[in-house]
């Protein structure tokens, strides 16, 4: 599916302290992504704080995003949940609303086995009928998808793609090669982790699932297009310019930094959902200084 290639921009989901999604603010964040021409919008990913929102609020966010994208940009939506039946219901909601695909993580409290993850993903894909992208996010879920498990899941009808954190540049080619050898040719391999994405794209990653693109789509599109053109020199130069932002992401998490950046730019005034706290003022100023210095607005 073409929605699993190119640049997928992941916006935050502005919400009140009690978890009520600010649909007007969300639409204001999505509109520039549509105008920029991103290849897809990744709604309710980890940056979109899906795990902190009720089923009803997730549906309100999805309806607002789909209305704003208006058929011009496909919307991939997070459907992860602790329980398999809840994930199925969320995927069914997404399909009924008009999302093109679901992003499914191995969310758990009790650590999961490969067999449990396989059963979970197969059930969601089969019972919802929604195309599924495997969301490998071990930093959050504490579960890592080995190439063998990805290959096994790639045989399930409806499981079409992988979003996987890119390792360091010296390991990314081997990482992608191991995955490619495990999956069918039509299965799409994509990268997250903005600071390593440029090298992953040059090594053959077919998609970049980007937090930064949720606020700065033009900058990220320039990196992607240079990589797609095979211009490694330009790709690396554009990426190097972004290093101050990548350093902030790694030091304070991309979630906290992107909330501070959105606030600095006046795009929304929401805070992350508690217990996550916004960055304190001195660190917010550091974020603002980087955004201004790089002219990312």
134 φ/ψ angles, rounded to the nearest 5 degrees: -70, 130
Helix (H, G, I), strand (E, B) or coil at 142: coil
Helix (H, G, I), strand (E, B) or coil at 201: helix
Q: Are 162 and 134 in contact (CB under 8 A)?
A: yes
Is 135 considered catalytic here? yes
CATH class entry, domain 2-229: alpha beta
**What is the residue extent of each domain of the chain?**
2-229
Is 250 considered catalytic here? no
Residues 6+ apart with CB under 8 A from 4: 40, 76, 101, 133, 160, 161, 188, 190, 206, 207
pLDDT in tens, the chain (297 residues): 678 999 999 999 999 999 999 999 999 999 999 999 999 999 999 999 999 999 999 999 999 999 999 889 999 999 999 999 999 999 999 999 999 999 999 999 999 999 999 999 999 999 999 999 999 999 999 999 999 999 999 999 999 999 999 999 999 999 999 999 999 999 999 999 999 999 999 999 999 999 999 999 999 999 999 999 999 999 999 999 999 999 999 999 999 999 999 999 999 889 999 999 999 999 999 999 999 999 886
**From 50, 52, 109, 163, the catalytic residue:** 163
Q: What is the pTM of this model?
A: 0.97
**From 50, 135, 209, 259, the catalytic residue:** 135
Q: What span, in angstroms and rounded, lies between the C-alpha atoms of 243 and 294?
A: 10
| Token pair for 206 | 């077919």
């Amino acid at each position: 599916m073409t929605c699993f290639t190119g640049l997928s921009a992941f916006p935050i989901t502005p919400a009140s302290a009690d978890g009520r999604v600010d649909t007007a603010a969300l639409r204001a964040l999505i509109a520039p992504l549509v105008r920029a021409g991103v290849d897809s919008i990744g709604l309710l990913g980890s940056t979109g704080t899906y795990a902190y929102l009720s089923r009803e609020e997730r549906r309100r966010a999805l309806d607002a995003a789909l209305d704003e994208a208006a058929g011009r940009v496909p919307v991939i939506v997070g459907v992860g949940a602790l329980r398999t039946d809840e994930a199925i219901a969320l995927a069914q909601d997404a399909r009924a609303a008009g999302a093109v695909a679901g992003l499914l993580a191995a969310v758990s409290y009790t650590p999961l086995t490969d067999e449990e993850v396989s059963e979970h993903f197969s059930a969601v894909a089969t019972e919802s009928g929604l195309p599924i992208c495997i969301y490998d996010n071990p930093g959050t879920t504490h579960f890592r998808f080995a190439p063998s498990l990805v290959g096994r899941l790639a045989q399930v009808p409806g499981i079409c793609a992988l979003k996987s954190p890119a390792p360091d540049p010296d390991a990314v080619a081997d990482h992608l090669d191991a995955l490619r050898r495990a999956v069918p040719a039509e299965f799409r391999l994509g990268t997250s982790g903005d600071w390593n994405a440029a090298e992953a794209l040059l090594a053959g990653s077919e998609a970049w699932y980007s937090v930064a693109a949720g606020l700065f789509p033009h900058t990220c599109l320039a990196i992607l297009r240079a990589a797609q053109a095979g211009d490694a020199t330009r790709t690396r130069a554009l990426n190097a310019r972004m290093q101050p932002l990548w350093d902030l992401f790694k030091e304070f998490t991309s979630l906290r930094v992107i909330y501070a950046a959105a606030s600095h730019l006046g795009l929304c005034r929401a805070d992350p959902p508690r217990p996550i706290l916004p960055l304190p003022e001195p660190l917010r100023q550091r974020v603002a200084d980087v955004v201004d210095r790089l002219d990312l607005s």
